[in-house]
Amino acid sequence: MMTKPHSSSAPWDYDVLIVGGSLVGLTLAAWLGQSGMRVLVIESQRGMAGTAARVYALMPLTQRVWETLGVWPRLAAQVQTYNRIDLSDRGRHNIIFTPADLGGKQELGYVAEHRQIWPILRDFVREIPSVTYWEGQQLLDFVIDPTAVTVNIQINDQCNDKYKSPSHSQRNDAIIRLSVGLIVGADGAKSQVRQQAGIKTWGWSYWQSCVTTVIQAGFPPIAYERFWPAGPLALLPLPEQRWGIVWTLPHAQANDCMALPAEDFLARLKPYLPFQEVHIEPQRWSFPVAWRQARRYVQTRLALVGDAAHGCHPVGGQGLNWGIRDAATLGEILVSVYQRGGDVGAFNVLKKYERWRWPQNLLTLLFTDSLNRVFSQGWEPLVSLRALLLKTMQRWGALRRLSLHFMAGLWGKLPDNL
């Protein structure tokens, strides 16, 4: 085994190790790297991190984070802006949100495909001199002591120098041992960092899965959230008149849908769509959904961000957006400590991040859970109550504006730079 990819006066090989190079991990790496902090990102997948098939609704806040980092101009060409949200219950009682509900100064939101935006963010991060990105490398284990984290990383021999994999001079067998000031778990729902740190989660699995696909339809770019008794259906407008579909259904119905040929699936989907002139793309995916909140987000020299820390129902498109907000918040706290010559792994530093983000995420998790439970019901008194609520929201601008600010992530304490 061997160490020291960098020579430096700091006591560690890297100031921060980020485990997981998907969108949340890369956003944090960019934030830290731009301050000169020495950051190593390791990603176990090769070629593409995260879930290539995913289509995201992106909140204005996420756009602001990427704008602040300077990567937004590169992403913008791959992103569809929308300025109308149409929310309905069983195809009726629509509420329409417009930019006026956000004060008229910004777009309502954006939609992008993971497979389009991830490579742009990855290349952007690799251009930052103090950031190193290794792909196809697996975290093995780590030991935290008061002054450093010692990390063992499994090195895959087929690693490719183009992606700045460790050079032969840094290795002497299949494992590399490094010392870092802080380890960050950005490694998703099953986070190995969280599990090895012994951090437990609260949560449950839903009775539903999400079936996702892409359709083509020549209609204006409106983001639809259509609630049906089986579960919500989101239609997210993509560039070139394509639409991401996220259809929540009880597991058995979702499995049935997955077994159907594309045209039969489309016939089943059509009654729930707002328009009928559509073509369907052949690929379809199904994801089980779960609710999860880590009991703690930090320990001495360890922090969790994104799905490693929390996971919510996809209704309202919140999960990634909240992970990006975690990254911006942790980034701001760490950069300010680093610039003052402080210890980025100190417990009191990390605790500030937890106190800031843990309650905000909990509120969002509870909100998405309630939305799904209240609207995925056919019980008549509840249906009438929902109709009343939606009518009131449509007529009473203040309530509509409040709910939109909440869904757009524009509430609560934000990082100063945003």
Ligand X SMILES: Cc1cc2nc3c(=O)[nH]c(=O)nc-3n(C[C@H](O)[C@H](O)[C@H](O)COP(=O)(O)OP(=O)(O)OC[C@H]3O[C@@H](n4cnc5c(N)ncnc54)[C@H](O)[C@@H]3O)c2cc1C
Q: Which residues bind ligand X (CB under 6 A)?
A: 19-25, 42-45, 49-51, 54, 56-57, 138-139, 186-188, 192, 210, 212, 246, 287, 289, 306-307, 314, 317-321, 323
**In the complex with ligand X, which residue's Cβ is closer, 211 or 280?**
211
User: What is the smallest separation between the CB atom of 287 and ligand X, expressed in angstroms?
Assistant: 4
What pairs with residue 143 in β-bridges? 150
**In the complex with ligand X, which residue's Cβ is closer, 219 or 287?**
287
- Extract the tokens encoding 341: 């010559």
**In the complex with ligand X, which residue's Cβ is closer, 8 or 160?**
160
User: What is the smallest separation between the CB atom of 138 and ligand X, expressed in angstroms?
Assistant: 5
- Extract the tokens encoding 318: 């919140």
> Rounded distance, CA 153 to CA 374, Å?
45
**Per-residue DSSP letters for 272-308?**
GSS----EEEEEEEEEEEEEEEES-SEETTEEE-GGG
Longest dimension (CA), the chain: 70
Output DSSP code: residue 386. Answer: H
Q: Which residues contact 315 (CB under 8 A, 6 or more apart)?
A: 225, 232, 234, 248, 368, 371, 372
3-state secondary structure of 353: helix
**In the complex with ligand X, which residue's Cβ is closer, 249 or 335?**
249
H/E stretch holding 67: helix 60-69
**In the complex with ligand X, which residue's Cβ is closer, 146 or 353?**
353
**In the complex with ligand X, which residue's Cβ is closer, 21 or 181?**
21
Contact of 233 with 226, CB cutoff 8 Å: yes
**In the complex with ligand X, which residue's Cβ is closer, 45 or 81?**
45
**In the complex with ligand X, which residue's Cβ is closer, 256 or 343?**
256
Measured CA distances, 51 to 13, 218, 377 (Å): 30, 27, 30
**387 burial level (CB within 10 Å; 0-12, 13-18, 19+):** middle
Output DSSP code: residue 155. Answer: P
B/e letters for 57-82, b = 16+ CB within 10 Å, e = fewer, are bbbbbbbbbbebbebbeebeebbbeb
Q: Which residues contact 171 (CB under 8 A, 6 or more apart)?
A: 2, 155
Q: Using alpha carbons only, how large is the chain's radius of gyration in Å?
A: 22
**In the complex with ligand X, which residue's Cβ is closer, 23 or 199?**
23
**In the complex with ligand X, which residue's Cβ is closer, 287 or 347?**
287
Q: Which residue is nearest to ligand X (CB)?
A: 306
The Cβ of residue 23 has, within 10 Å, a number of other Cβ atoms equal to 27
The Cβ of residue 141 has, within 10 Å, a number of other Cβ atoms equal to 12
User: What is the smallest separation between the CB atom of 237 and ligand X, expressed in angstroms?
Assistant: 12
Q: Among 58, 50, 54, 60, which Cα is nearest to 23's? A: 50
User: What is the smallest separation between the CB atom of 108 and ligand X, expressed in angstroms?
Assistant: 14
**In the complex with ligand X, which residue's Cβ is closer, 389 or 411?**
411
The letter for the amino acid at 8 is: S
